[in-house]
Structure 1
Amino acid sequence: MFKRRWLTMTWRDALFCHWPVDPAAVSATLPDRLSVATHRDDAYLSVVAFVMDDIRPRGAPVGLSFPELNLRTYVEGPDGPGVYFYNLDADDRIGVAAARRLFALPYYRAAMDVSRPETADRSERAGGPVRFTSRRTHPGVPHVRFDATYEPTGEAFAAEPGSLDAFLAENYQFYAAGNRLYCGGIAHDPWRLREATVDLRANTLFEANGFDRPDGDPIVRYAEPIEVGADRIRSV
């Protein structure tokens, strides 16, 4: 298990939807000093939805919990490989304000709901379908709608080193660009992933971030709950 970090939390009910895209389409959107990372010549754009539970700075007696929805890609930077976020929408006014200030990340307020549709057998609900809806409410930025129901279907597995799943999931730092380039680290055990299905009824994240909607169906994964630690960001 990772050592205790400045900020700790648990991520639950994580949906990963990954689309392969032309590296040139991603490269044109990146800030200086970042370059697009590829796997077998493809860049990827990923929509990730999950619940951040019990988020607390070191020593805090009570944590925050709220859903998050983001669009991200994969990059090489001055401190090595990482994730670059185009947006992180979250359903918490205080959390969004703090994240924008402390982590220099593009967080936006949104009205979200995460629920599990009723099933005949309640014992099935722990691994059953999850519905995630989001409507951005942050002023002065493009509108975003998201509505999906997803469900794990396969057995849990750890990504093999060098595999596409590892490229997409096993990332332990992120970059953010404000008046300068920043880098932040996270720590957690390897993801336990499961194949999954998704009914994607609405998703305007690509248009809101200036991308054409990718062709084809995404690679879909569900992730088991995981404890995460985060460090303060640093200038690079």
Structure 2
Amino acid sequence: MQPPSSITPDAPAAVRAPLLTQEWLDLSFVHWAVDPAVVAPLLPSGTVPDTHEGVTYVGLVAFRMHRVGWLRLPGVPYFGSFPETNVRLYSVDAHGRRGVVFRSMDASRLIPVVMGRLGFRLPYLWSRMSVRTDGDTVDYAGVRRWPGPRGAHSRITVARGERIEEPTELEHFLTARWGMHNAFFGGAAYLANDHPRWPLYRAELLACDENLLASAGLPTPREAPVSVLYSPGVPVRLGRPSRSAPAVPHPRRPLQRCHIGSTGRVMASYADEEE
């Protein structure tokens, strides 16, 4: 297994022949620190948790998808534009490629949801959603329709702060992700992307009422997130899926319970640990 690739604010390689083009707009990144052992069983075969200083993260990312287009065709104005909220984890494969793993992807357009589920085996879910801006404040709301669990919801309100001129290494780790790992037909696959460097802003989480993390099999946070960021967005190009080679298995000890530590980190306790 190769060591993880360097964390870079710019894409390490351009996507020369994009399968999809799109814009990600008005993004809010909300992150909590998590014990890698908590998320390891939730990742596709061939990947392990990607960590920063021994910790991995769960992200709640809300944004507007805009003008999704196939190949080099112009983006679709209606069916290709919609609000979306993702629950995502951080992964690395045997080639050292860092990526994200989506546990859920709530979107408000049924046709893209069906295409994403059938064509890419992505965990897209049809939801009633809205994104509203008022000056520097952005409000994201959604209630799941299909396939469920019905009633899964989120309401996130973020206030944008000052522009970040020099993001920290952790902020690059959480946002500069140049691919996606996903369970695909016959095994895990990697889908690369490229886009300009993120314009990032500090942000304050004014409100967060959600159960998407719990619906995705993750512990419900009991403390404030460790990172809240905002970006006005970037244009994105996504490549074609490529196979991920099997990785060295991550130890998966019998999990007994999860709890929230004093720092807000989700910690794990195991059945084989002595009291």
Contact 1:158–1:193 (8 Å) recurs in 2 = no
Query: 1:201 Cα deviation (Å)?
Result: 3.6
Q: Is residue 41 of structure 2 the alignment partner of residue 34 of structure 1?
A: no
In structure 2, what is the equivalent of residue 11 of structure 1? Answer: 24
| Cα deviation 1:66-124 (Å, max 9, x = unaligned) | 1111111111113411111101111111111122233221111111011124xxxxxxx
CA distance in structure 2 between the aligned counterparts of 1:50 and 1:81, rounded to whole angstroms? 22
Secondary structure of the corresponding residue to residue 224 of structure 2: coil
- The answer to whether the 8 A contact 2:17-2:239 is kept is no
Contact 1:110 1:135 in 2 (8 A): yes
Residue number among 116, 129, 143 corresponding to 2:137 in the alignment = 129
Give the superposition deviation at 1:158: 5.0
Q: Percent identity?
A: 28
Superposed CA deviations along residues 166-192 of structure 1, whole A, max 9, x for unmatched, are 111100100111442111011101111
| Residue in structure 2 matching 1:114, options 118, 131, 134 | 131
Q: Which moved more, 1:212-221 or 1:185-194?
A: 212-221
Picking from 150, 155, 158, the partner of 1:147 is: 155
Deviation at 1:140, TM superposition (A): 4.6
Letter in 1 for 2:140: F
**Matching of residue 50 in structure 1 with residue 56 in structure 2:** no
Equivalent of 1:207 in 190, 207, 214: 214
Match of 2:3 in 1: none
Instruction: Tell me what 1:216 maps to.
Output: 223
Q: Partner letter of residue 83 of structure 2?
A: P
Over 3 Å counting, the alpha-carbon distance change for 1:140 and 1:198 in structure 2 is closer
Question: Which moved further from structure 2: 20-29 or 55-64?
Answer: 55-64
Residues 102 and 232 in structure 1, CA contact (< 8 A), matched pair in contact too: no
User: Which residue does 1:74 correspond to in 2?
Assistant: 90
Stretches of structure 2 lacking an aligned partner (at least 5 in a row): 1-10, 245-275
Matched to 1:8, the amino acid is: T
CA distance in 1 between partners of 2:26 and 2:191 (Å) = 23
Cα distance, 1:142 vs structure 2: 5.7
The Cα shift of 1:48 comes to: 0.2
Supply the distance in 1 between the matched residues of 2:195 and 2:53 (Cα, whole angstroms): 26
Contact 2:20/2:239 (<8 A) preserved: yes
Name the aligned partner's letter for residue 21 of structure 2. Answer: T
Tell me, in whole angstroms, the C-alpha distance in 2 between the residues paired with 1:231 and 1:10. Answer: 15
The equivalent residue for 1:122 is none
Q: Secondary structure at the match of 2:81?
A: strand
TM-score normalised by L of structure 2? 0.76
Residue of structure 1 equivalent to 2:182:
176
TM-score, normalising length: structure 1 = 0.88
**Distance change (3 Å), C-alpha of 1:189 and 1:57:** same
> Against the structure 1 CA distance between its residues 143 and 33, is the aligned structure 2 distance closer, same or farther, given a 3 Å change threshold?
farther
How many Å apart are 1:149 and its aligned residue? 1.3
